[in-house]
Amino acid sequence: MARWEPAARERLVVAAVDLFTEQGYDATTVAQIAERAGLTRSTFFRHFPDKRELLVAGQETLSRLLADGITEAPPDASPLQAVAAGLERASAAMGPLNRELGPRLKAAVATSTELQERDALKSVGLAAAMTAALLTRGVGDPTAHLAAELGVLAFKQGYAHWSEGNRDADDQLAPHTLAALDDLRAATATLT
Amino acid sequence: MARWEPAARERLVVAAVDLFTEQGYDATTVAQIAERAGLTRSTFFRHFPDKRELLVAGQETLSRLLADGITEAPPDASPLQAVAAGLERASAAMGPLNRELGPRLKAAVATSTELQERDALKSVGLAAAMTAALLTRGVGDPTAHLAAELGVLAFKQGYAHWSEGNRDADDQLAPHTLAALDDLRAATATLT
């Protein structure tokens, strides 16, 4: 019976996050990441342009999933209902590896300003993708911007809750991101 | 009668933004910035660690002003009223130079991923400063996060409106950021 072998791409991500956490981002080389993953440098470069991009590899996929969910929500869905559909779509794509990596990724990002900047741009990119999808649905501005920002906050808070929680439980990400969105919706009534 | 001479720091910022816009961020050196400003490289390095930091020089001041305004708002102010006080405090510090630089800064940021990342982290930093000030006031979470995000959006939208509008008019930034915050407050009712 063959043991499950993660694809090269996933092995590189796991190896990199471990090394970043162990010895810091700046001190980690592409050669070390490849070696830890049991692969060659040239395999690394077939998957990622550099070590920093590796950490945000999932951003384009995530943006696309969030936007697709918003676009395909029922025509009569409210802006936040559309955002919830985007969160459901994106959350469904996150499996045990994503959950496992969450806290380690956070630790790695904490070691480097460069990674914090890349991470901040990632949030801006997610918000922009959701805003565009909402505008295309005919949602006006600034409602579209605002709904998208709530979506980003809900995804980040839900993901943190899920990945930092009890790792044994077999729960999915979606309930966490949707609960976070509900909390934010309720909070809009307390801003006055 | 002595001609008004902007301080070295301001001259460096103006020279840098002009060069970034003319020839791109990557192609611009510290030596060129200093020369355009009529100053030496060592004067540059007395004010800024590198050319990138120059572009976000005002961030710490801006964070502090936003947070101070929130902290010193009347005890019975609502979360968004406190954010409005922060916006007023920060807006009052922005003069003609800031207004003049707005569109040029935007053009410069558009030329470089590195600057976009730094700019994104700047927004995260402003939101964090406002969130912390709101939590200290006793505002609960996620209301504090949400109010801070509205504050960042209002500042950015108000600043864009002000700096891209008719440059002859002698108006101040505050009415623009406060109007943007009002629009966002109204938009919370349309999220459903």
B140 and A CB contact within 8 Å: yes
DSSP designation for A168: T
Amino acid at A134: L
- Asked if omega into A6 is within 30° of 0 (cis), the reply is no
Read off the pLDDT of residues B8-53 as tens digits, 9 standing for 90 and up.
Answer: 888 898 898 889 888 888 899 999 999 999 999 999 999 999 988 8
Q: Which of residues 40-99 of B touch A (CB under 8 A)?
A: 78-81
Q: What is the least distance, in Å, from the CA of B128 to any CA of chain A?
A: 12
DSSP string, B22-77: HH-STT--HHHHHHHTT--HHHHHHH-SSHHHHHTTTHHHHHHHHHHHHHTS-TT-
A145 and B CB contact within 8 Å: yes
Write down the residue that tokens 């305004």 correspond to: B69
Q: What is the least distance, in Å, from the CA of A53 to any CA of chain B?
A: 13
Q: Which long-range contacts (CB under 8 A, 24 or more apart) does A140-145 make?
A: A140/B190, A142/B153, A142/B157, A142/B180, A142/B183, A142/B184, A142/B187, A143/A79, A143/B187, A143/B190, A143/B191, A144/A79, A145/B153
Q: What residues of B are in contact with residue A79 (Cβ under 8 Å)?
A: 190-192
Nearest beta carbon to residue B187 from set A118, A121, A143: A143
pLDDT at residue number B168: 64
pLDDT at B67 over 60: yes
pLDDT at residue number B106: 83
Is B143 in Cβ contact with A157 (below 8 Å)? no
Cα B105 to Cα B107: distance, rounded to the nearest angstrom: 5
pTM over the 0.90 mark: no
Q: What residues of A are in contact with residue B185 (Cβ under 8 Å)?
A: 191
Average confidence (pLDDT) over A73-84: 97
Read off the pLDDT of residues A8-67 as tens digits, 9 standing for 90 and up.
Answer: 888 898 898 889 888 888 899 999 999 999 999 999 999 999 988 887 777 788 999 999
Read off the pLDDT of residues A172-191 as tens digits, 9 standing for 90 and up.
Answer: 999 999 999 999 999 999 99
Chain A interface, best mutation among B143, B155, B161, B182, by max A CB count within 10 A: B143
- Residue-averaged pLDDT of chain B: 88
At residue B94, φ and ψ (nearest 5 deg) are -95, 120
Check if the beta carbon of residue B1 is closer than 8 Å to that of residue B88. no
Is A124 in Cβ contact with B120 (below 8 Å)? yes
Is B146 in Cβ contact with A187 (below 8 Å)? yes
